[in-house]
Structure 1
Amino acid sequence: MTLLSRLYGVRPALRHRIHVRRNVEIPAADGVRLLATHYYPAGQHRPPLVLLRSPYGRGNALDQLPNLLAERGYQVLYQSLRGTAGSGGRFDGFVIDPADADGTLSWLRAQPWFGDELATWGASYLGLAQWELAARDIPEWKIALIQDAPSEFARGFMYPGGAFATGNALGWVQLVERMFTGGYGITRQMAGLVGAARRLSRATLALPLQEADQALTGHPVPWFRHWVRHGPGEKYWASTDHRANTARMPPMVHLQGGWHDFFLPGMLADYAAMVAAGRQVRLLVGPWGHGRGLYTREGLNDALAMLDAALLRQQAPLGVRLFVTGAGRWIDVPAWPPAHEPAPWFLHPDGGLSRTPHDGRSSPSRYRYDPTDPTPTVGGTQVGLTAGAKDNRPIEARADVLTFTTPFLTEDVEAIGPVRVRLHARSANPHVDYFARLCDVDPRGRSVNVCDGIVRLHNPGDVRVADIALWPMAHRFKRGHRIRLQVSSGAHPRFGRNPGTGEPLATGTSLRPSKHEIFHDHSHPSALWLPLTSGPS
């Protein structure tokens, strides 16, 4: 029995002996040779097939999932995309060549062991590959199980709020470089971790930014350079935008995300689109960062239940299941977002945060942002093990970070749904960012991040309105805690520093500091809106 079956309590009623065929050759539609590993249960005649398409190699720790599925009676075809793990062709970042899927489907249909029922599964890039698969009609496709992967890439990952995701983009470059040059061996990959954080930190400060790949890896990475040269609305990104494929997704879809996953807002938009398209959609959101939910008891059991429902005609666990952080409990709601009241908390000049706006004139709160010493961030939606809920007190002690905090709460405040901030702000520099982060402050003063967001502005003006969409949330602020909002102009390296010059992102080399004023008077009611699901405090 696989390790995962024992750890997560998903032992099959009947455990099948597993056979494995390695280095199976599959011709892409353009003749490129793709390699795959085929897992199948002994003694089963044409059982349902689960397809995984990945750039991350085969024969590593991820093989636990194919083994788990095969012992349950499913076939698994685990394929390496072109340019990875022995497959021919050239890897091109998040642009997936359609010839891979076209050739794979034609090949599958010609195999005598293929039983005409197909599921797909996978997190992150393996989820993106499922969205690309839906560019064509596939009648055999019964369910897609997608973790941490939205249909749209540029705005959701690369340019959230218009700011380039420097730390996450370079973090992924580093991950791919380590895997590719390490020959997909765990030992060499682990050795590549030595000094990795230091190299990444240096690379995020490289100027011009289009050469940060060279600083990180020692050589140019063509797809990274495309990312920094092309803004989110440019034609280059069309091949990574699969929102138009919603109508060709299979009849059942399982979406799994995490509150600290950088892809979560896009996945929630996909949930709404697929429900509107008539799909049966199960949504599960847990207290995780990117890629950490699949190998959990809750995540794995929920996904397997949906797989069995689609392929074995069992009861499907539809609806939405959410983990409420701060309360430490799971809840079931009929849809996302659940019924809620968007309720404002207003910023006050003394650093307060209150349900009532300031009733008179006040001087604005001020800070100075210097891109040569960019405001750092901790935790949140960063790539890697540093993501999640962290102590923010060192960040809040900086002079370039403002904080606005409620009094101690006299009753619990539970908020589930979308979060937004509106700032009335002034800066002489038209090229600025505004970053907002919501924190839960415990009775001892420890300030832990719940969600955050950023917006990049380029328009000149006197007092400008900065509307910031924060990550969605499901959180309980307990009685005796306080609600805090951070306001700053950076969150380096999660969001790349704004150089303040208006020069092109890829080639700019100058840095210009900026002074900022945040208004919170009667005429400029800057505020945080929380989606209350219980009485306001």
Structure 2
Amino acid sequence: EAAVQSALASLNPPHLAAMIVTYGPSSYYHSSMRHNGVLELRFVTYAFTMASTSKEAIADPNIKAALDHACANVWDWLKAGPIRRGCTPLRLVPSYEQWCIDLLTHARYDDYWKQPGYGPRPYYDQHADVPTLYVGGWYDSYTRSTVENFIALSRRQKTPVHLLMGPWHHGGAGQPLAGDVSFMPDGGLSDYETVRLQWFDHFLRGMDTGVETRPRVRYFVMGGGPGPQAKAKVMLHGGVWKSAATWPPPGSTPTPFYFHAHGSLTPQPPTGDPEPTRYTYDPADPVPTIGGHLSAISIPAGGFDQRNDPRFPGSRGSLPLSARRDVLRFATAPLEEAIEIAGPIRLKLWVSTDAPDTDFTAKLLDVYPPGPNHPDGCALNITDSICRLRFRNGFEQERLAEPGNAYELEFEMYPSANLFAKGHQIRVDISSSNYPRFELNPNTGGPLGVERRTRAAENALHHSQSKPSHILLPVMKR
């Protein structure tokens, strides 16, 4: 349990000698339970799941039956609105009901989020200085946290700190599949258990397994495969393992790609003053989550063609998500040569809204060209993010928006490593919901976690010379 290990290490216990931390938090507020101010709903569903296996449920079959039924219908409870005290089966296990309400209502970064059990970030300076291997996945729900812990503690510790990042989702370390995507032949990492054993043999048993002479960072660059196959749903995206002394790896350069009117994405900034691109975000009709960085929630995680799919709640039909009116798509021309990225990914958006508050989402995609197995192309999700407008000036304060004003919104996506092959397109989709990965913004500006009202918001993305919205991709020198 990575979170428990990190909480213990934050107390610097004298008998801790070495760790392997797989899929763990750095700060539950900033990039786990909450994400740029927005609650990840997997923890609400997790509260129901944990309550159904609690000591109260084990002791009372009636409580167990009620909570099992609630877990089977958890999407209905989410749709019913914010969890209110005494109004859901969580009332049968008050400790989990209170925990769920706390997650919903502690929207700002306050003392609640600074307890050691919610991640080591506030305690890095007192963290145990022991050899630590951090293991993460590009489709994990703790991708950013894993990298943050490695960077922060490798700067502070005298003992070795290493990083292993594969193309995996939560719980899938060492496996070759993540969602509908295969990273064969190399993504499976057949020696994963050997890697773990060698770490502990070296630092706990004094056996020289060579781990200290290896590069500190080993990461998988996704991409380069042939794509969707005719007789299988699996997409062969491929990829290769690489090593580096640091993260981001040497040669990774933040490179802006600018959004333009009419949907283009280029390294050249926009000129002139075109009208912003406007759309309506209605919480009653959110953009459905199709894979991505998920865990503890009963929908598939990993990479998927971003189109409506009956496996995902809220999907209707089979059209691509980009066909929706509330999804803005910005894409490069088909690439004349491959572009490899590895490192952090940031967005700088200029936005406006007629609502007191709203959210803006972003999704980075690797778009395969049309082919016999996918006649309208295939848009593979690489990473995504969201940011709540009221937290544009920091997470310890809330400032509502004023209609007509344009605001600069800067936020981080989960890091990644991917090769966008020749002939592919790099695409960024912008919207205001990604549900049920993230809670819905009711757009009212009311207190978060308790608001029952909702309204539609008229949102806009600016892409002009004075308001140049763009994404910063960590392009590798080739």
* TM range, smaller chain: 0.7 to 0.9
Is the Cα contact below 8 Å between 2:25 and 2:119 reproduced in 1? no
Displacement of 1:170 after TM fit?
A: 2.0
Query: Match of 2:197?
Result: 304
Is the Cα contact below 8 Å between 1:204 and 1:212 reproduced in 2? no
Displacement of 1:232 after TM fit?
A: 4.1
Query: Match of 1:347?
Result: 259
Supply the distance in 2 between the matched residues of 1:502 and 1:381 (Cα, whole angstroms).
27
Supply the distance in 2 between the matched residues of 1:480 and 1:286 (Cα, whole angstroms).
25
Confirm whether residue 424 of structure 1 aligns to residue 350 of structure 2.
Answer: yes
Query: Match of 1:498?
Result: 441
Name the stretch that deviates more: 447-456 or 457-466.
457-466
Query: Match of 2:6?
Result: 131
Q: Secondary structure at the match of 1:173?
A: helix
> Which of 128, 132, 138 in structure 2 is aligned with 1:253?
132
Confirm whether residue 451 of structure 1 aligns to residue 383 of structure 2.
Answer: yes
> Which of 8, 18, 27 in structure 2 is aligned with 1:152?
27
Which structure 1 segments of 5+ residues have no match?
Answer: 1-125
Query: Match of 1:386?
Result: 300
Query: Match of 1:404?
Result: 330
CA deviation vs aligned residue, 1:14-70 (integer Å, no higher than 9, x gap):
xxxxxxxxxxxxxxxxxxxxxxxxxxxxxxxxxxxxxxxxxxxxxxxxxxxxxxxxx
Query: Match of 1:203?
Result: 77
Supply the distance in 2 between the matched residues of 1:370 and 1:301 (Cα, whole angstroms).
50
Displacement of 1:431 after TM fit?
A: 0.3
Supply the distance in 1 between the matched residues of 2:447 and 2:426 (Cα, whole angstroms).
38
Is the Cα contact below 8 Å between 2:365 and 2:426 reproduced in 1? yes
Is the Cα contact below 8 Å between 1:441 and 1:484 reproduced in 2? yes
Query: Match of 1:517?
Result: 460
The residue correspondences of 1:349-388 to structure 2 (distance < 5 A) are 349-383=261-295, 384=297, 386-388=300-302
Query: Match of 1:319?
Result: 216
Q: Secondary structure at the match of 2:243?
A: strand
Query: How many aligned positions are there?
Result: 402
Corresponding letter in the other structure for 2:195: D
CA deviation vs aligned residue, 1:382-413 (integer Å, no higher than 9, x gap):
22451111111332121111101111111110
Query: Match of 1:214?
Result: 88
Supply the distance in 1 between the matched residues of 2:445 and 2:22 (Cα, whole angstroms).
36
Query: Match of 1:291?
Result: 171
Displacement of 1:217 after TM fit?
A: 8.7
Query: Match of 2:401?
Result: 460
Corresponding letter in the other structure for 1:411: E
Corresponding letter in the other structure for 2:156: A
Displacement of 1:178 after TM fit?
A: 4.5
Whichever of the two has the greater Rg, that structure is 1
Paired-residue identity, %? 30
Displacement of 1:443 after TM fit?
A: 1.0
Is the Cα contact below 8 Å between 2:367 and 2:379 reproduced in 1? yes
Displacement of 1:228 after TM fit?
A: 1.3
The residue correspondences of 1:183-202 to structure 2 (distance < 5 A) are 199-202=73-76
Is the Cα contact below 8 Å between 2:357 and 2:443 reproduced in 1? yes
Displacement of 1:363 after TM fit?
A: 2.0
Is the Cα contact below 8 Å between 1:199 and 1:216 reproduced in 2? no
TM-score, normalization: structure 1? 0.70
Confirm whether residue 238 of structure 1 aligns to residue 120 of structure 2.
Answer: no
Q: Secondary structure at the match of 1:505?
A: coil
Q: Secondary structure at the match of 2:18?
A: strand
Query: Match of 1:170?
Result: 44
Q: Secondary structure at the match of 1:134?
A: helix
